[in-house]
Amino acid sequence: MILITGASGKTGSEVARQLAAAEVPFSAMVRSREKGEPFEAMGADVVIGDMSDEDFLQRALAGIEKAVLIMPNGEQQQAMEMRFTDLAVEAGVQHLVYLSSIESVPENLNPITQMHVAVEKHIRQSGINWTIIRPSFFMQMFLGAAKGIRERGELVFPAGNGTVATTDLRDVGEVIRLVLTEPGHENQSYDLTGPELLTLDECAERISRVIGREVRYVDQPMAEFADRLRSINMSDWRTQAVCKEFEAISRGIIDHTTDTVSELLGRPPISLEQCIEDHLELFQS
Ligand SMILES: NC(=O)c1ccc[n+]([C@@H]2O[C@H](COP(=O)([O-])OP(=O)(O)OC[C@H]3O[C@@H](n4cnc5c(N)ncnc54)[C@H](OP(=O)(O)O)[C@@H]3O)[C@@H](O)[C@H]2O)c1
C-alpha cells in the first residue's frame, strides 16, 4: 500500500488523482474526516491525524510499502519530515518519495531551501530507498493570480526581471505516479521544470495571448508583497521565507530548465499557455 501525506494539498491531491485514475490503491493522510471524503469517493483508504503525532504516524505507517512525503513550508517542517523518515524506516517502508524543490541547493540561503537540503541529506543517509522530486515553482501560481488578472489586468509578483521555468502540478503528479508504479527510480533525484525559462513580463504576455486581453506584469515592492502574504494569515516565518524565494528568482538563482519531465513521461512538459488554456474560466469575468 502507498501512503500519501499532505493528501488534501496541491501536490498530494494531484498524486491521488493520478493514482486513482491508474487504479493504484493508496491511503490518503488528512487532518479531518471532511478532507478525507474526496479520497473515499475515489475508493482510497483515509487516515486522519497530524504529522506531529508520533503514535498516529506509527499506526499510519504500519503495513505501508511506499510513502510520499509532502508537507507545507513551515518552521516545524524539517523536524516533522525527519521524524517521519525515521518512523518510515522503523516501520519497514521500502521506498520514500520526497517532495523537495529545485532551488534547494546549499548556496541558496533561504530557510525553505536550507530545510529541504537538510531533509534530503537525512533521507539519503537513512538507509531507505528514496526518490527526491524537485520541481520549480508551480505553474499554478498563475491560477492563484487570476483574480488580479481578471479584475485589473495585472500579474503582481516581486520577481524583478528574474526568470522562472514553472512546472505544472499535473506533471509533478504524473512523475510521482510513475516513480511509485514503475521500478528503477530508487535513489534518484529528479529536477523538474516546465519547458521554458521566462521572465514574469514574458509570462504576462503569454497569458494575454491565451485569454485575449492585455495583462501587465507589476513588479511589486517586497514590503507590499509581505503585507499581502500576512493579510492571508501566512506566518511570519513563511512570509519571510517566501519573500526570500522571490528575491532568489529576481537574482536569477534558478536559471535553467531540465529535460527530466520529457525523459520520464515521454512527452514535453505542459506549457504555460496550455495550463492557462485548461483553466480559462478562472480568467473570464
Ligand atoms: N509552491 C511551489 O511552487 C512549490 C514548488 C516546488 C516545491 N514545493 C514544495 O512543495 C511542498 C508543499 O507541497 P504542496 O504545495 O502540495 O502543499 P500544500 O498545498 O500546502 O498542502 C499541504 C498539505 O499538508 C497538510 N498538512 C499541513 N500540516 C500538517 C500536519 N501538521 N499534519 C498533517 N498534515 C498537514 C495540509 O492539510 P490541511 O488541508 O488540513 O491544512 C495540506 O493538505 C513544500 O515542501 C514546498 O517547498 C512547492
Residues with Cβ within 8 Å of residue 14, at least 6 apart in sequence: 169, 170, 172, 173
* 242 belongs to a structural domain: no
- The predicted model gives 186-200 an average pLDDT of 97
CA separation for the pair 42, 226 (Å, rounded): 38
pLDDT confidence bin for 107, thresholds 50/70/90:
confident
236 is a domain residue = no
Residue 210's pLDDT band, with cuts at 50, 70 and 90, is very high
Higher pLDDT pick, 110 / 146: 146
262: domain CATH number?
A: 3.40.50.720
- Structural domain includes residue 98: yes
- Residue 30 pairs in a beta bridge with 48
**Grid cell for residue 46:** 483515509
pLDDT average, residue stretch 224-235: 94
pLDDT(221) > 90: yes
Looking at residue 185, its pLDDT comes to 98
Query: 76 CB less than 6 Å from ligand 1?
Result: no
Type of residue numbered 174: E
Distance 71 CA to ligand 1 centre (A): 4
Determine whether the shortest distance from the Cβ of 104 to ligand 1 is under 6 A.
no
Please state the rounded mean pLDDT for residues 275-282. Answer: 97
Whether 237 and 111 have beta carbons less than 8 Å apart is answered as yes
Q: Does any domain span residue 51?
A: yes
Q: Which domain holds residue 25?
A: 2-135+168-192+258-267
Determine whether 233 is exposed, middle or buried from the number of CB atoms within 10 Å of its CB (0-12, 13-18, 19+): exposed
Give the chain's domain count.
1
- Best residue among 4, 5, 11, 75 to mutate for probing ligand 1's pocket (most ligand atoms within 8 Å of CB) is 11
Beta-carbon contacts of 49 under 8 Å, excluding residues fewer than 6 positions away, are 29, 31, 56, 57, 59, 60
Q: Say yes or no: CB of residue 72 within 6 Å of ligand 1.
A: yes
| 195 Cβ inside 6 Å of ligand 1 | no
pLDDT tens figures, 251-262: 887 789 999 999
Position 109 scores a pLDDT of: 83
Position 224 in a domain: no
Instruction: Give me the amino acid identity at 230.
Output: R
The predicted structure's pLDDT at residue 253? 77
Question: Percent of the chain scored above 90 by pLDDT?
Answer: 93
Is residue 143, in this structure, part of any structural domain at all? no
In short, whether 228's Cβ falls inside 6 Å of ligand 1 is: no
Which residue pairs from 102-106 have beta carbons closer than 8 angstroms and sit at least 24 positions apart in sequence?
A: 102/134, 102/135, 102/136, 102/191, 102/192, 102/193, 102/254, 102/258, 103/136, 103/245, 103/248, 103/253, 103/254, 104/134
* pLDDT, the chain, mean: 96
Q: 235 CB less than 6 Å from ligand 1?
A: no
CA-to-CA distance for 67 and 71, rounded, in angstroms? Answer: 13
Ligand 1 atom nearest to 172, measured from its CA: 6
Between the CA of 209 and the centroid of ligand 1 the distance, in Å, is 31
- The reply to whether 176 falls in a domain is yes
Quick one: pLDDT at residue 207? 98
Q: Is residue 247 part of a domain?
A: no
Are 176 and 68 in contact, with CB atoms under 8 Å apart? yes
Residue-wise DSSP of 10-38: HHHHHHHHHHHHTT--EEEEESSHHHHHH
Cβ(111)–Cβ(241) below 8 Å: yes
Four-residue CA torsion sign, 246, 247, 249, 253: negative
User: Residue 31's pLDDT band (boundaries 50, 70, 90)?
Assistant: very high
Q: What angle do CA 16, 193, 98 make, to 5 degrees?
A: 45
CA dihedral for 233, 238, 244, 246, sign (positive or negative):
negative
| pLDDT tens figures, 42-82 | 999 999 999 999 999 999 999 999 999 999 999 999 999 99
**Which pLDDT value is given to residue 244?**
92
Q: How far is CA 172 from CA 43, 83, 102, 213, 266, in A?
A: 22, 24, 12, 29, 14
Strands (E), 70-135: 95-99, 129-135
- Under 8 Å between Cβ of 131 and 190: yes
Residue 245 CA from chain centroid, whole number: 14
More confident of the two residues 219 and 284: 219
Kindly report the CA angle at 9 between 108 and 67, in degrees rounded to 5? 80
Helix spans in 182-234 (H): 200-211, 222-231
Q: Which residue has the least CA distance to atom 8 on ligand 1?
A: 101
